[in-house]
A and B are shown apart, each in its own frame.
Chain A
């Protein structure tokens, strides 16, 4: 999983985990370059003729954090300033080319979360997969 994909795991963490993640960064040289703010992103999709059009807007929260000169970005759906900050901080730390101890800790933290998420998604997928249907045609049809 790329680091950008890893930070998306923060979206579905429970509140306590988000706070634990932010605590992980407590002693690091992180600067909030843009405090969390809410706004809208227009979701653009393609129709069956490959025409792009705007489906509607999504409420998001975004934030930016700098770690050792590397700017990290956090955007998540909904109004969630702490999560946006956590994503921005995680993005900055993981994108920093200079190896640091926090990177290892952060990866370990996110990988634990990834396992939890995969279990949850597998459960949901199993429920959905069990509704796969094979209709039989009636005799003579």
Chain B
């Protein structure tokens, strides 16, 4: 490879690395604590965990600090860290019906069993800068906390779990049949252990989508929403909450709850023609670590798009989608163009000069014939 045909430069490289760290620390503001990032920039940490495919809020916050806020770099660091850790095992399969819900909405039905819970969201805020935040201090926070708790309705209660909205449609036979019967999988594919091949199994596809980069997935899903595809979805349900991480107890084999993991889940509905000629809604499924609604919805749309029988657009082609959504791989490839390509380029120059010589020679011959 042309770009490894150089050596040296160690001192300059080391100084450049130190200069990068200096850029982050040269200002007069107090050092940014990892706890601050984890608590106050939690959506950034959530995004990094989802794209790094490692649930570790403290390390995600550290990676954001180290990368000076570059989420691609931070996700890369998490992915690299996971490679240094041993795999202790797999959890018992977790159903999202058991989720401790903190937000749950549907754009398909106004009234859903358990109700719509808006939760913590910026959906209804004006996208205008809040200059009051410039005066953020402990006293203001205390006052805000007191105010938010004092104004709570006395009868506000929330169920421990919520039934899935799609159950309503399933009960009435308005949803496509389950896919698992048509595409049985004895055990879930693990793309961290085996290379992704095509046609990809459903479990492999979902795992690849779950670790995809938010922007890349949104771009592809958006292309479908805008008309480069045939899927115009309705959000059946979006829920955010905490899933139990359950493993078998090594001594007893009984389920052992190690803790909980925050996730966002989306189920989208799209119309389809059933294989028996009966029109039914089809489903698209999305889920990711942390609170990342754009990613979960985009994943659900791409899941549905890539099940289109005759793909016509990039977003409907599973190979195209799954090979291009991994942010770490895409960023790595893009970044590698910055490495010296002197030998490749010299070869290109050489070929270009020869091609020009031949073109000139050809023109001269043409002129002589005339």
Please report A residues at the B interface, Cβ cutoff 8 Å: 4-5, 8, 11, 37-60, 62, 64, 71-73, 75-79, 95, 123-135, 137
Contacts and interface: CB of A to CB of B under 8 A. Distances in A.
Contact of B250 (A37, A55, A57, A64): A64
A78 B256 contact: no
Contacts of A58: 54-56, 91, 245, 258-259, 261
Interface string B175-211: 0001110000101111110000000001110110011
Secondary structure of the B contact surface, majority rule: mixed
B285 A48 contact: yes
Contacts of B153: 130
Contacts of B251: 71-73, 95
Nearest to B176: A49
B187 to A, nearest CB: 8
A127 B254 CA distance: 34
B257 A8 contact: yes
B87 A46 contact: no
B168 interface: no
Interface of B: 49-50, 53-59, 82, 85-96, 101-103, 110-111, 115-119, 148-149, 152-153, 156-158, 164, 166, 178-180, 185, 187-192, 202-204, 206-207, 210-211, 243, 245, 247, 249-252, 254-261, 263, 267, 283, 285, 287-289
B125 to A, nearest CB: 13
B237 to A, nearest CB: 9
B207 A54 contact: yes
A72 B89 CA distance: 18
B29 to A, nearest CB: 28
A128 B119 contact: yes
Nearest to A47: B285
18 contacts: A39-B86, A42-B87, A44-B94, A44-B188, A45-B93, A45-B96, A45-B287, A48-B267, A49-B179, A50-B178, A53-B203, A53-B206, A58-B54, A58-B55, A58-B261, A73-B256, A78-B56, A127-B148
Contacts of B156: 126, 129-130, 132
Contacts of B180: 49-51
